Structure 1
Amino acid sequence: MSSSSHVHDIAKSGFGTGTNELYNTIRPSYQAPALSFIRQAVDASHALNIVEWVPCLHDGLIFSNFGLRIGAGTGIFTRALLAQPEWDSSINEIRAIEPSEGMRSIFSKTVNDERVSINKGTFDASGIENGWANLIVVAQAFHWCPNYELAAAEFDRILKPKGTLALIWNLEDRQAFIFCRDGAEWVAQVRERIERHEEGTPQFRLGLWRQVYNAASYQKAFRAPHEQTWSYNLEATANTVIDRASSKSYIAVLPPAVKAEVQQDLRRILADGEKIWVDKKLGVFEYPYETLVVIAQKL
Structure 2
Amino acid sequence: MTTKVHAIAQTGFATGTNELYDRARPSYPTECISYIRQVSKSTAPLNINWAGTGIFTRALLAHSDWAMSIDTLRAIEPSDSMRDVWMKTVNDNRSSIVKGTFDNTGVEDEWADLIIIAQAFHWCPDYGKASAEFGRILKKDGAVVFIWNLEDRDGAGWVAQFRDRVEVHKKGTPLFPLGLWRETFSTPEYISLFHPREEEEWAYHLLASEKIVTDRVQSESFITILPPDEEAKVVEDVKGILERGDGKVWINKEEGTYQYPYKTYAVVSRRK
Q: Confirm or deny a common fold (TM above 0.5).
A: yes
1:117 aligns with 2:96: yes
When structure 1 is superposed on structure 2, of 146-155 and 40-49 the one drifting more is 40-49
Q: CA deviation at 1:88?
A: 2.5
User: Among residues 158, 172, 178, which one is paired with 2:151 in the alignment?
Assistant: 172
Alpha-carbon distance in structure 1 between the residues aligned to 2:2 and 2:95: 25
User: Among residues 211, 215, 218, which one is paired with 1:246 in the alignment?
Assistant: 218
Q: CA deviation at 1:37?
A: 1.0
Unmatched 5+ residue regions in structure 2?
Answer: none
Do the aligned partners of 1:5 and 1:123 also contact (CA within 8 Å) in 2?
A: no
Aligned position for 2:165: 193
Q: CA deviation at 1:273?
A: 1.4
2:254 match: secondary structure: helix
* 1:223-252 residue CA offsets vs partner (Å, 9 max, x unmatched): 000111111000110110011011000001
Aligned position for 2:21: 23
Q: CA deviation at 1:5?
A: 3.6
Alpha-carbon distance in structure 1 between the residues aligned to 2:20 and 2:119: 16
Aligned position for 1:57: none
Q: Which amino acid aligns with 1:280?
A: K
Normalising by structure 1, report the TM-score.
0.89
Do the aligned partners of 1:4 and 1:150 also contact (CA within 8 Å) in 2?
A: no
Alpha-carbon distance in structure 2 between the residues aligned to 1:6 and 1:166: 22
Alpha-carbon distance in structure 2 between the residues aligned to 1:73 and 1:48: 19
* 1:51-109 residue CA offsets vs partner (Å, 9 max, x unmatched): 11xxxxxxxxxxxxxxxxxxx11100000000001112110010000101011001001
2:143 match: secondary structure: strand
* 1:146-200 residue CA offsets vs partner (Å, 9 max, x unmatched): 0001000000000000001100000000022xxxxxxx10000010000000001
Aligned position for 1:33: 31
Q: CA RMSD in A?
A: 0.9
Alpha-carbon distance in structure 2 between the residues aligned to 1:17 and 1:50: 26
User: Among residues 68, 74, 85, which one is paired with 1:89 in the alignment?
Assistant: 68
Alpha-carbon distance in structure 1 between the residues aligned to 2:161 and 2:2: 33
1:153 aligns with 2:151: no
Aligned position for 1:204: 176
* Equivalent residues in 2 for 1:139-150, closer than 5 Å: 139-150=118-129
Q: Work out which structure has the larger RCO, using CA pairs closer than 8 Å and 6 or more positions apart in sequence.
A: 2
Aligned position for 1:272: 244
Post-superposition, which runs of at least 4 consecutive aligned residues in structure 1 deviate over 3 A?
none
Normalising by structure 2, report the TM-score.
0.98
Q: Which amino acid aligns with 1:290?
A: K
**Percent of aligned pairs with the same amino acid:** 52
Alpha-carbon distance in structure 2 between the residues aligned to 1:18 and 1:107: 14
Q: CA deviation at 1:41?
A: 1.1
* Equivalent residues in 2 for 1:216-231, closer than 5 Å: 216-231=188-203
Aligned position for 1:51: 49
1:29 match: secondary structure: coil
2:173 match: secondary structure: coil
1:282 match: secondary structure: coil
Alpha-carbon distance in structure 2 between the residues aligned to 1:27 and 1:45: 31
Alpha-carbon distance in structure 1 between the residues aligned to 2:202 and 2:29: 9
Unmatched 5+ residue regions in structure 1?
Answer: 53-71, 177-183
1:283 aligns with 2:262: no
Q: CA deviation at 1:4?
A: 6.4
Alpha-carbon distance in structure 2 between the residues aligned to 1:294 and 1:107: 24
